[in-house]
Amino acid sequence: MKKISSSETNCVSALYIVPTPIGNLKDITYRALSVLRQVDYIAVEDTRRTRILLNFFSIRTSLYVLHQYNEYKKIPILISKLQAGLSVAVVSDAGTPLINDPGYRLVQCCQKLKIKVIPLPGPCAAITALCGSGLPTDRFCFEGFLPHKHRLRISRLQALLEEPRTLIFYDVKHRIMDTLKDMISIFGLERYVVLARELTKIWESIYGAPVGQLLSWIQRDSSRIQGEMVLVVAGNCLKNHELSPKIFHVMNLLASELPVKKAATLVEYIYGVRKNILYKKYLSKQSNKIVDQNINID
């Protein structure tokens, strides 16, 4: 008897969290397609956007609209369907559901009611941008969209000023210039920022520079902020102008093989630390070593 793979069996009654492509439709997983075909309902933000994906793969599953404006009203209905033994998949317009999208309240209700929740792995713009940014990925902080209003945006950035982890933000064309200007006012001109836009799409680009230079680069060509965007920002590696041992260790290694200024430029690129401070601190420490050596000789 042929053994049936898990992808060929019917979905059990559960809430499935199903990531969908952020651009390139080929990024959908076999498992995601299997679930979307077999569940009783797919909860979507916008039927028009999701239909493009479903039609491409000839999926005819019934849709159920669930977004941030109707979730309090619709969640009880979905819960009743799940409790009746039906299966429901949740998708967002693109990427992994619940990441800066509605859905966590539904999952929260399911967990409280002991309804099975099955999350699938898949595309996420924040993680895709982080992986391509060249900034540290071992610790990071996802902040979603910054507030629309200038005062609230400034307040949020001030709260993140001393955050040492890499920061990830989503942004849009009509607001990104204001965002970068506010980052300059709070983080300074030298904080390293990567702009990743149209990820997985034909016009994909990833460009990083100190935020002051990044703003000038965008101002020279408005097409550089077309489409969907992610900002990946270097964490604050300096506090009270002190370098972490890890950063200075890298600086020492590079300076042993390269001119000091070149080494400082590379460390600035890697960690977002101001190269002028690195340069001065390095020379200061080298001077102290020479003084100590002379004292020991005497």
Which three-class secondary structure state does DSSP give residue 234? coil
The residues near 206 (Cβ < 8 Å, ≥ 6 apart) are 129, 132, 133, 194, 195, 196
The residues near 135 (Cβ < 8 Å, ≥ 6 apart) are 166, 192, 194, 208, 232, 233, 234, 272
Separate counts of helices (H) and strands (E) for the chain: 11, 10
DSSP letters of 150-193?
A: HHHHHHHHHHTTT--SEEEEEE-TTTHHHHHHHHHHHH-TT-EE
How much is the pLDDT for 276?
79
Q: Say if CB 67 and CB 98 are below 8 A apart.
A: no
Type of residue found at 149: K
* Nearest alpha-carbon partner for 135 in 213, 208, 243, 234: 234
Residues of the chain falling short of pLDDT 50: 1-8, 240-241, 291
The separation between CA 9 and the C-alpha centre of its own chain, rounded to angstroms, equals 34
How much is the pLDDT for 115?
97
Q: Say if CB 120 and CB 32 are below 8 A apart.
A: yes
How much is the pLDDT for 2?
38
Q: Mean pLDDT score of the chain, rounded to an integer?
A: 89
Find the distance separating the first CA and the last CA of the chain, reported in whole Å: 88
How much is the pLDDT for 12?
92
The separation between CA 12 and the C-alpha centre of its own chain, rounded to angstroms, equals 31
How much is the pLDDT for 284?
80
The separation between CA 30 and the C-alpha centre of its own chain, rounded to angstroms, equals 24
- Digit-coded pLDDT (tens) for 190-203: 899 999 999 999 99
- Digit-coded pLDDT (tens) for 126-175: 999 999 999 999 999 999 999 999 999 999 999 999 899 999 999 999 99
| C-alpha torsion angle, residues 60, 65, 71, 77 (rounded to 10) | -60
Query: Tokens 């408005």, residue?
Result: 222
Q: Say if CB 71 and CB 58 are below 8 A apart.
A: no
> Around Cβ 20, how many Cβ atoms within 10 Å?
25
For residues 262 and 206, what is the distance between their CA atoms, to the nearest angstrom? Answer: 23
